[in-house]
Amino acid sequence: SAQALVNGLALDTSEQRVTFLFDHLDLPQILNYLALRSITQDADDVRKNFYMFHDTHTDGLWRMFPWDKDWTFGVTGDGGTHLLHPFFGDRAHSKQNANQWNRLYDVMFGEEVTKRMYLRRLKTLADTMLQHPDTPAEERLFEKWVEELSASAADDLPRAANSGKRAVLQYFPARRGDMFDRYASDGSTPLLPDSQPTMPNMEITVIEFDAATEGNPGQFVSIANREETEIDISGWTLSEAVRFTFPPGTVIPRQSEIFVARSIAGFRSRATSPKGSERRFAVGPFNGQLSASDTQLVIADASGTVIRSTVIGAGPSPLAGSLAISEIHYHPADPNTDAEFIEMVNVSVNAVSLQGLRFSEGVEFRFADSAIMSLQPGERLVVIADRTAFESVYGTGLPVAGIFANGSRLANGGEDITIVDADSRVVLTLTYGDADPWPAAADGGGPSLVLINSNGTNASDPASWKASALAGGTPGSAEQSSNFTGDPNADQDRDGINALLEFALGTSDLSANGIDLRIEISAGQVLLHYGRSSTASGPSITYEMSTNLQAWNPADAVSEKAEPAGDNRVAVTVDLGPATETPAFFRIRVTN
């Protein structure tokens, strides 16, 4: 509804507002509208004179359509002193009569990422449509259109055609002065970026076939902009495996990516990242369907020049499943913030050659520059952010393959990490995070992220990870099992829970606390809920049942689910089978 749009623009934090924009607005269409509005200097659409359309049938996005555009091309109306400014219509550049400003403009121009996207699109239109003041008269597009339109109206409206032509032709030199002088990057009020490179550094990073879902609505191709500036890809195309033309206003933020989806709604509703509510820039739908029989995917600019192509038909890399990222230190504690590292392990039974491998997401690193070119079964290596910082914490002699390239770093807020082979086929990929249910201690508290089980694990599942037992982790070696030592029957805090039980459940025998153990009947099943340690690997936990509290027998768990609960603990739900009318009692037994 319109109220939902208003509410989304008024969310409390910048992160919430930007996430709303990416999820609920057709950003290319809105950006293009706003940029064209500035080129034509629309003086009358701050609070009205446009339509908002909400597509509730397909992608659920809002779009903005023009209406009543007679106060343009130099007809200033009551635009006021801010009319010339590219941010005309936001709160800071409002129309003075009745203090008119637009909340959508305020958010689009006020949030850094969308502001930069907008300025890039405005610069593109200034370069290609308004054109530089030095453009020869016979090549000026706007002037040619005005001449053609006035000529077509001359027989029916001779006076209007001539006077209108003179007025509009006087407008373009002034507006060129604004775009190429006053607001240019070297102007008196610098706002616009320099023209973008003709062959920007772009990369196809992920090709998601989503074959497990009927109809494959979650299929997507992600394209990364590796430049330190926004890149306008309006009119560019994807071809071969799928077909898509990027609509006017498609601008990829700097050092970011765009997702070209088979279905916008399907992409937003994906169960796993990337998906909606993650500030992902998605466009679509593309024509066709990704399949294992496809041979390649090609990105070309609006002139048809190929920017990037990649082979996709060979499926995943032959090395898929052979390597795992086993430890990530993405946010080391102060003062060693540059001691970041990624640890890899060979989980196969054969030696693995690293020739041609590279990180395509997360950090920049190519194994062509590595000091280690192969891994034996069970062998590990680390890639680090800074050698001096790393060695000041961990010393020398560890299996360091190399250093992140171009000063790249792991994101403290979580991100995707992908390794591909020489043919851009995915070797491994995962997404880590810093917010619950990911281990909070790894987010600047000292510990690293450690993969609990390197074999057959969903490495993007928070439950697959724990915070390292040691501050800084154990780069280059497996974390040692955490076993109980001492008197298992001790009860130093006198809370009635012995030391072994506290150790297994992730609590402390130095602080009195209870046991979060409860039974629930749900859908006819008996569910046991409790919390336990995610790092204590020595103790064994089993489940027992009794009908009289005297004789106890093993209770076979139908299923067990563990979810991270913070502070190196997991919340466990055990399905103990169907409930019966006979009274039953359940307990957990911990043995060392």
- Tell me the per-residue pLDDT of 131-148, one tens digit each, with 9 for 90 and over: 999 999 999 999 999 989
Percent of the chain with pLDDT over 70: 94
Residues 146/168, Cβ–Cβ less than 8 Å: yes
User: 36-57 burial, b for 16+ CB within 10 Å, e for fewer?
Assistant: bbbbbbbbbbbeeebeeeeeee
Highest mean pLDDT among 70-74, 158-162, 529-533: 70-74
Q: What is the DSSP letter of 126?
A: I
Residues 357/419, Cβ–Cβ less than 8 Å: yes
pLDDT at residue 315, rounded to an integer: 60
Classify strands 465-467 and 449-451 as parallel, antiparallel or unpaired.
antiparallel
3-state SS class at 312: coil
Q: What is the DSSP letter of 25?
A: B
pLDDT at residue 311, rounded to an integer: 77
- On whether the pTM is more than 0.75, the answer is no
**Residue 569: band (very low, low, confident or very high) from pLDDT cuts 50, 70, 90:** confident
pLDDT at residue 156, rounded to an integer: 83
3-state secondary structure 411-453: CCCEEEEEEECCCCCEEEEEEEECCCCCCHHHCCCCCCEEECC
In this predicted structure, the answer to whether residue 295 has a pLDDT above a threshold of 90 is: no
pLDDT at residue 209, rounded to an integer: 77
In this predicted structure, the answer to whether residue 293 has a pLDDT above a threshold of 70 is: no
Q: What is the DSSP letter of 116?
A: H
Residue 507: which region, alpha, beta or left (left: phi > 0; alpha: psi -120 to 50)? beta
pLDDT at residue 316, rounded to an integer: 65
Half-sphere exposure of 469 (CA within 13 A, CB side): 13
In this predicted structure, the answer to whether residue 290 has a pLDDT above a threshold of 90 is: no
In this predicted structure, the answer to whether residue 59 has a pLDDT above a threshold of 60 is: yes
Other Cβ atoms within 10 Å of 306 Cβ, number? 12
**Residue 456: band (very low, low, confident or very high) from pLDDT cuts 50, 70, 90:** low
3-state SS class at 104: helix
Mean residue pLDDT of the chain comes to 89
Question: Helices 2-9 and 103-110 meet at what angle, rounded to 10?
Answer: 40
Low-confidence winner among 52-56, 254-258, 462-466 (lowest mean pLDDT): 462-466
User: 114-151 burial, b for 16+ CB within 10 Å, e for fewer?
Assistant: bbbbbbbbbbbbbbeebbeeeeeeeebebbeebeeebe
d(CA 172, CA 72): 11
**Residue 291: band (very low, low, confident or very high) from pLDDT cuts 50, 70, 90:** low
pLDDT at residue 392, rounded to an integer: 93
The first and second tokens of residue 503, run together, are 């150790």
- CA-based nearest residue to 33, from 248, 178, 230, 244: 248
**Residue 481: band (very low, low, confident or very high) from pLDDT cuts 50, 70, 90:** low
Q: Which is higher by pLDDT, 507 or 272?
A: 272
In this predicted structure, the answer to whether residue 423 has a pLDDT above a threshold of 80 is: no
pLDDT at residue 151, rounded to an integer: 87
d(CA 496, CA 511): 11
